[in-house]
Structure formats: C-alpha cells, structure tokens
Structure 1
Amino acid sequence: MIKTVYFLALFSFVLMSCQTEKNINKYPVTVGDIEFDEKLDDPDFKKCTPEKLISLQYYQGEKGFNYKGEKLAIIEKLQKEKISSETKMNGYITVRFLVNCEGKTGLFRVQQMNEDLKEIVLDKELGDRLLRFTKSLDGWIPQKIKGFKTGYYQYLTYKIENGKVSEVLP
C-alpha cells in the first residue's frame, strides 16, 4: 500500500512537471528597461545587477550629473567634434543607455523626434554620428546607494536647430 501511494505521488509529480510551461514574461521588470539585442548590443557589456532587479534611472541616487567634468565636459568635447548635418532641420535626437557599476556603457538606443516631439527620422547619418559620439564618452561615474556602486539608465538629448546641435539635455 505504501509503495502504491509513493508511486502515485511520484507519478503525479512527474506528470505535473512535464506539463508545466515555462512562464516567459513579455514585459520588462521595470518600464523603460532596455532588453539586450544581439544585433545592436556588445555581448561583453554586463549589467551589475541580476536581470530581475530594478535598474536605477539617471535621476535616482546621488544628485548631480554623473560624468567626470559634469555636462560641461560633454559639451566641450561635442563642440570640438563639430557634428552637424547639411540638412537644415530642427528636432531632437535622444541616445539612451545603461551605465554599469564599473562606469562602462552599453545597451544604446536612439530616438529621433521633430519639433512637435513626433517620432521621425530627422537625419540617419546625424543620428549615427551622435550615437558614436555618445559611445565615445568614457567618464561616466557609477551611482552609489548606501555605499555600493550600482548601474543606472542615462540619456542625452541633442537639440537640433538648423542641422546643428544647439543644446544637450538633461
């Protein structure tokens, strides 16, 4: 009798485990999380926290702009690059990315918008040049929460006026 109960319990456990489907969530853990895309992202870039933990946004954690030399250093470097477009268009090009706990960047995404903030492609070449410029910035400082370094999402929005970058936001 005990063997029969044991056998039935084992059989039902095996039967249930075979029929259990893997629960795949099609939504990110946090709104705005950037999912790894093998076509776009460097496979060597690593997040510092496990995938199920929330990544911080640029405005959480320590106050200030977490770049060596602050935003002014980025603006000065951008002015030296003289990145512009022959097309005299106006709008915004935003590059969003993740800074990990080592200060390395990855998971870059680009969005272009017109003056009315409607998503369009203003100038693909200009967007590509601003993406390369943003990727070249190597002075990002990790956030600290209770003394521990952590990664965070950051963005730079380039305001374009007459084909030239007129302002860097935030």
Structure 2
Amino acid sequence: MTVRIITIFLLVILASCSEKRSSWGIAQKYFPNQDLLKDGVVNKYYEHYKFFDGRPPQINIYYQGNFLDGNGNLIQKYFNPAYSIFISRTFKIDSGRQQLIEEKRYTGKDTIISKINSDDYINWADQNGLLSTDSQYPDGILKVELQQLRNADTLFLNYQSKAFKYKRQSVFNEGEIWEIKKSIVFSEGLGLIYGHSVNSESEVIQELVEQMPYSEFLKRSQNTVNRVGYIAPEQRLDNDDFKLCYGWDNLNDYYNSEPDGRYAKNKNGLVNDIKAQLDTSKLKNESGFLTFRFIVNCEGNAGYFTAEENDLEYQPKAFDIETKNHLFEILRSLNNWRPVIINDESRDAHYYVTFKLKDGEITDILP
C-alpha cells in the first residue's frame, strides 16, 4: 500500500512537471530545449541597416540571452556589442500566448521600468495580439504599441518556422509618430532566426549567426585580456611579426570610433577584393559560418588571425582545412583596413569577417 501511494505521488509530481513544461503550448517548439534554457542560451545577431537617403549601409551586432526561471517564465536579456545589457524582458507563456509581465530598459545609470497596458507580445495560437507600453524617461514618456497582424506556418532555410507580421507605432511626449512595419521568423528549436523592419527612412534585416550556451557568452564578455578580443598565441593562424601598438590591455572594438573601423573601401570594396582572389574549387561543398577574428593595429596592419567555425544550425563544426586556409590567405593579403580613431588618435582594435557558405558557395560576407 505504501509503495503504491509513493508511486502515485511520484506520478503526480511527474505529471505536474510535464504539465508545467508543456504549458507554453505551441510556442515551446520554437525555442531551444527547456533543459538548455535553464542554463541559458544566447543568440548572436547581425543587423543590416540600409538608409534611403544615400548614407552607406551599417551593420550592428547584438546578443539575446534566453533563460527559463523557476516559475517557467521566459527571461530575455539583450546585450550590445560590448556585452552591456540594455533591455531585460520577462514573459509568461501560457497556451500559446506570450505575455510581457516586466520590461526594463537601461540607459546609462537609469533603469526605465515600462508600464504595461496590454501584454500580448506574441500570440502563437491566433492571428492577432496587442502590446502597449509606456516608458517614463527623464525627458519624457515613450509610448509604444505593437500590433500583431499575422501568424503563419512557413518553411525558412529548411526549418519548420512561424512567421509573424506587425505594425509598431512609437510616440515620444505626444509628438511625432514613428511607424514601422515588421516581420519576424522563429524556427523550431532555435528561437528568433530572422527579422525585417522598414519605415520611411530605412530598413533593417536581422539574422541569427551563432547560438551558444550562456557559459560561453560569459567567457567572451569578461573584461580582461581573455575577453573575445584576445587571441591566444597557440590559436593564431598567422605567425608573422605583427605587433600591437598599445598592448592587449588597450585593445578597442572596431565600432568604437566614428566612422567605425572597417575596410577602407567599404563593404563592396571588401567583397570585390575577396572575389578577385577567390578560387571556388577550394570551397569544396562546405556550408556554415566561418568567422575570422583578427587585430588591426594603429598602423592599419592586420594580424593575430584566428577562426571560429559553425554549421548552418549555428553549432560548432570543423571546415575543410583547404577551405579555411584559402579564405584566411585571402584576408591576410588585404591591406586596406582602417584603424579606429579614439580621441583623434589611431588605436588597436579587433575586427572580424564572417563567410556564410552554402553547398560550396559564398552566399554572404559579413559584416
């Protein structure tokens, strides 16, 4: 009898755990596994900005951390390229409704807590939803209304996916109204994989380029010589006599100056210079993201190259050595890098170039 009671008790606990895990409904399919979310999963995104007034395009990086708290809520934290948090959101997901229950924005020393008027951030089960928030800044109130217009099943990059369309309206101090048309795509097991936004001035394309455990993100974000900019000597692909001007403790990021440090011929010039040396036979049949990190010193010289390799599912892989060496040699031969300028002085900075390959063809070069 006692054994039976214990068995029933355990079954009730397991059932309640299963019910808790499945309370997200259909939404659960479109995020990383919940066991992974307990430890945290971080997605890295590129944002491609195109301006309609003729300004050159820009690319931004941000990270989105996804965490599961003890109550089954989803916590999302957004980090800028310097790994500083700028937004934190907490969601309750129940029966396919992803409801915003807390939003904090971080600006300098201020923490802005949004007032939530309507909480439907994403309606996974139905077509329509409405999110409405007021955020009190020191100089005024920002009102944001995000209206979900469409929810559709789709196939995106061979992943079973969900696509949503939105209209976003922002008003600051009851003044000018900014309207954005927005679409986003979530893929099974990955989370947000693609986004597109457009207004009267610009459009932004957002794409997932890497997914990592939170523990890996923490390693990269450490503000020491071992942060992401540091390249250990044993990891170097090059072995020439390259030197930093100011040492590892004074290494900057390519986006720290205005204009930011990039290829002097801009993106099109970089692509053209790479293609001029490209031997497509050496790309084999490779697919994935092959990222080269390196340093451009204050003199505009590049060195300390290392490679990071991921497949198209954003997980680590090993590229064919001939493919990796060929693309590395092309990058190393380029000599039009623009150093960053800090306080009117050229500085050392870490850079990166990502090759996106599909079946032996380069489909994009980022940033």
The answer for the alignment partner of 2:259 in structure 1 is 63
The answer for the alignment partner of 1:112 in structure 2 is 309
Q: How does 1:38-49 map to 2 (within 5 A)?
A: 40-42=237-239, 44-49=241-246
The answer for the alignment partner of 1:20 in structure 2 is none
Letter in 2 for 1:120: K
Mark the CA change 1:137 to 1:37 in structure 2 (over 3 Å): closer, same or farther: same
Structure 1 distance, partners of 2:359, 2:266, is 26
The answer for the alignment partner of 1:163 in structure 2 is 360
After TM superposition, give the deviation of residue 161 of structure 1 in Å: 1.3
Q: Deviations over 1:45-99 (max 9, x none)?
A: 1101134x23111222223452221111111122222333463232111111000
After TM superposition, give the deviation of residue 168 of structure 1 in Å: 0.5
The CA RMSD measured in Å over matched residues stands at 2.2
Structure 2 distance, partners of 1:86, 1:153, is 26
1:139 to 330, 336, 343: 336
Task: Name the stretch that deviates more: 87-96 or 57-66.
Answer: 57-66
Q: Percent identity?
A: 27
When normalised by structure 1's length, the TM-score is 0.75
Structure 1 distance, partners of 2:286, 2:232, is 31
Mark the CA change 1:80 to 1:68 in structure 2 (over 3 Å): closer, same or farther: same
After TM superposition, give the deviation of residue 134 of structure 1 in Å: 0.6
Q: How does 1:96-111 map to 2 (within 5 A)?
A: 96-111=293-308
Q: Looking at secondary structure, tell me which structure has more strand per residue.
A: 2
Structure 2 distance, partners of 1:86, 1:40, is 18
How many residues are aligned here? 143
Structure 2 distance, partners of 1:86, 1:35, is 27
When normalised by structure 2's length, the TM-score is 0.36
Structure 2 distance, partners of 1:140, 1:39, is 19
Structure 2 distance, partners of 1:168, 1:65, is 17
Consecutive unaligned residues in structure 1, runs of 5 or more: 1-26
SS in structure 2 at match of 1:59: helix
Consecutive unaligned residues in structure 2, runs of 5 or more: 1-222
Q: Which has the higher contact order (CA 8 A, sep 6+)?
A: 1
